[in-house]
Copies of this chain bind each other. A is one copy, B any other.
Amino acid sequence: MEISLTEENYMKAIFSLQLNADEVVSNSRLAEHFNTRAASATDMLQRLADKKLVHYKKYQGVTLTTKGHKLAVHIVRRHRLWEVFLYEKLQFKWDEVHDLAEQLEHIQSEELTNRLDKFLNHPKCDPHGDPIPDKKGQIRSDLAKPLTHIIQKGYYRITRVTDHSKSFLNYLTEQNICIGDVVKLEEINAYDASCKLKTTGGQIVFLSQKAASHILAEFKK
């Protein structure tokens, strides 16, 4: 079946807007995500429902069907593999890879995807720490938690960021915070959920609730 570029983008958006699988995604969130009108989103959701990619009932929002979930995961796999390629092989910065990968991900070839995966040595994560689904669509479970959810001070390894905007990534780069770094969480402010940490380089950095919520880390044994 033919899946258009726009349809693929909707599928990916539904997948990434639902925090847990089976969560219903509303029309308005999709419209907002694409900077488009609710009427256009309705149109597309009906189209996707016709193709059995989403469960859709009028006024009730959508969830992915099994088939739709599979498709979305494949698109995500392509996106993240291309990000690794752009980052590791072409030396793009982590804040530059997203837009190009957004275009490369739409080349629908299993063969290309699998060969790229092999060429890159089957990477586990993209430059933002997002896990890359394998050939079968399996996604490695991620144990990392947002800094805002950590209650105990100590050493943590930063493994992932969940905001891919240039401004956020540039901010982290300026603060000398990178994926893989081990940082010391020195203070957790109970009042506003901000925190203070010591980076690999030894600098002290204060993070707002907003920033901290987009940085995922796991306890360093």
The chain A residues found within 8 Å of chain B, CB to CB, are: 86, 89-92, 100, 103-104, 107, 109, 112, 115-116, 119
Chain B residues, Cβ within 8 Å of A119: 89-90
Q: Are B107 and A90 in contact (CB under 8 A)?
A: no
Chain B residues, Cβ within 8 Å of A104: 104, 107
A112 nearest in chain B by CB position: B100
CB-contact partner of A115 in B92, B103, B107, B115, under 8 A: B92
CB-contact partner of A90 in B86, B100, B112, under 8 A: B112
Chain B residues, Cβ within 8 Å of A103: 107
Chain B residues, Cβ within 8 Å of A90: 112, 115-116, 119
Chain B residues, Cβ within 8 Å of A112: 86, 90, 100
Chain B residues, Cβ within 8 Å of A109: 100
Chain B residues, Cβ within 8 Å of A92: 115
A118 nearest in chain B by CB position: B90
The 4 A-B residue pairs whose C-beta atoms are closest, nearest first, are: A90-B115, A103-B107, A90-B119, A89-B119
Chain B residues, Cβ within 8 Å of A91: 115
A sample of 14 cross-chain residue pairs with beta-carbon separation below 8 angstroms, ordered by A number, consists of A86-B112, A89-B119, A90-B112, A90-B115, A90-B116, A90-B119, A91-B115, A92-B115, A100-B107, A100-B109, A100-B112, A103-B107, A104-B104, A104-B107
Chain B residues, Cβ within 8 Å of A100: 107, 109, 112
Known: A90-B116, A90-B119, A100-B109. 10 other contacts (CB 8 A): A89-B119, A90-B112, A90-B115, A91-B115, A92-B115, A100-B107, A100-B112, A103-B107, A104-B104, A104-B107
A106 nearest in chain B by CB position: B103
Task: Give the docked Cα–Cα distance between A92 and B111 (Å).
Answer: 9
Task: Give the docked Cα–Cα distance between A100 and B103 (Å).
Answer: 14
Task: Give the docked Cα–Cα distance between A86 and B104 (Å).
Answer: 14
Task: Give the docked Cα–Cα distance between A104 and B109 (Å).
Answer: 12
